[in-house]
Amino acid sequence: MSRAFVSEDAMAAQAAELPERPISDRPNLVTLSGLTAIEAEIARLQTALAEEKQSTVEESERRAVLARDLRYWLARRASAQLVPTAPENAEEVAFGDTVKLKLGGRTVTYRIVGEDEADPKQGLISYASPLAEALLGAALEEEVTFGPGRPSATVLKIIRIAGI
């Protein structure tokens, strides 16, 4: 049978099989830029859903994905806990801080952000990541051990802490 003759009920049933996006059980801490990104994604998805047709199976599937993603982001916005910006040149690493680290002979910089904001390639790490957990609460000039036990553990030295 041609897909053109698939009933709307069949399309809806197929779309209903789409699993929900998992939501972390950790607190949904966000920076101001993270909250702004959530709001922008909700607006984008609402616009896309309003413009999406549902006359073909492919369009129905795309609409189901958009609707599922919108539910995810609405839940994330509802649970978002905006964390105030830390003061510039803080003495201790906190959520939202940008931390400059000495790793062997090189220097790396990471910003500790919410789970949905994380993008390690861009230097943004989730506060729930093992690296961030090792850094949170550490002081300027402190050496922090990260990774599996000795001798393969990595020692990082905090050389700058900056709030944004």
pLDDT one-digit tens code per residue, 90-114: 789 999 999 999 988 899 999 999 9
Residues of the domain holding 125: 92-159
**Residue 110 sits in the same domain as residue 138:** yes
Separation between Cα atoms, residue 29 and residue 64, nearest integer Å: 28
Number of domains in the chain: 2
* Among candidate residues 36, 57, 82, the one where a domain is terminated: 82
Task: Say what the pTM is.
Answer: 0.81
Q: What is the spatial distance between Cα 152 and Cα 160, in angstroms, rounded to a whole number? A: 25
Measured CA to CA, the distance from residue 59 to residue 65 in angstroms comes to 10
Residues 11-67 have pLDDT tens digits of 455 545 889 999 999 999 999 999 999 999 999 999 999 988 777 888 889 999 999
Domain match, 71 and 117 both: no
- Alpha-carbon distance of 154 to 7, in angstroms, equals 58
State the pLDDT confidence band at 2, using cuts at 50, 70 and 90.
very low
Q: Between 163 and 102, where is the model more confident?
A: 102
Residue 41's φ and ψ, nearest 5 degrees, are -70, -40
